[in-house]
Amino acid sequence: MHRIFLRLSTLMAIAGGIVLSILVALIVFSILGRELNALLHNSFFQTNMKGFADWLLGIELPGFWGAIKLGPVNGDYELVEAGIAFSIFAFLPLAQISGSHATVDIFTSALPDKVQHLLGAVIEVIFAVVLILIAVQLYHGTVDKMDRHQTTFLLQFPLWWAYAVSLIGAVAAAVVSVYLALMRLVETVTGRRIVPAGEGADH
């Protein structure tokens, strides 16, 4: 059972990493395009190499939302906003199942093992409740944006798309979190270790 949830979490993290890498490339191209556009419009190029500068500025490449000219990527902020939201939620399941959340155990490290296990179970339950609430609210947000037919300002793509892809990560995180909460509660009652304990990121 643990392998299934670990595999799900890993696949979500890989998807989040791919999207994040695409966003990094998008930002780089957008910045390069913006800077080159500004450079070709400056007085030196417009005075001494106007024909060449205008030719470069006039080149059009086929793009998903129409022709792409030398300059910033149209709607880059909208794409980054949507992509980052998905990436954050996509990384949550793996952070949860591997216990990679930052922990501050200055006071709890001195407590007996049974108390620490109980405290860990309580924390997992709280995590599960919070992640379920987030997933439910994202679902309602997705439905609301779909019903209102809201779109982004520049690219005009429906806002519910961004909510929907984020909802996938949120639901995966909630499912993994509920699984871990149940397992930690069983461990607390039986005193047996059922799933591996995450090492966390101690502070």
Q: What is the pLDDT along the chain (203 residues), one digit of tens a residue?
A: 888 999 999 999 999 999 999 999 999 988 988 888 887 777 877 777 777 777 666 766 565 555 567 678 888 899 999 999 999 999 999 988 887 766 666 666 666 777 777 888 888 999 999 999 999 999 999 999 999 999 988 888 899 999 999 999 999 999 999 999 998 888 888 877 777 765 444 44
User: Which of 179, 11, 26 is closest to 90 using CA atoms?
Assistant: 11
**Torsion angles phi and psi, residue 77, rounded to 5:** -65, -40
User: Which of 112, 136, 134, 131 is closest to 188 using CA atoms?
Assistant: 112
Q: What local confidence, expressed as pLDDT, does residue 59 receive? A: 66
Q: Name residue 67's beta-bridge partners.
A: 62
Q: Is 156 left (phi over 0), alpha (psi -120 to 50) or beta?
A: left
Structure tokens, 133: 């609430």
Which one-letter DSSP state was computed for residue 107?
T
Q: Are 88 and 188 in contact (CB under 8 A)?
A: no
What are the residues whose beta carbons fall under 8 Å from the beta carbon of 188, sequence distance 6 or more? 117, 118, 121
**Global confidence as pTM:** 0.80
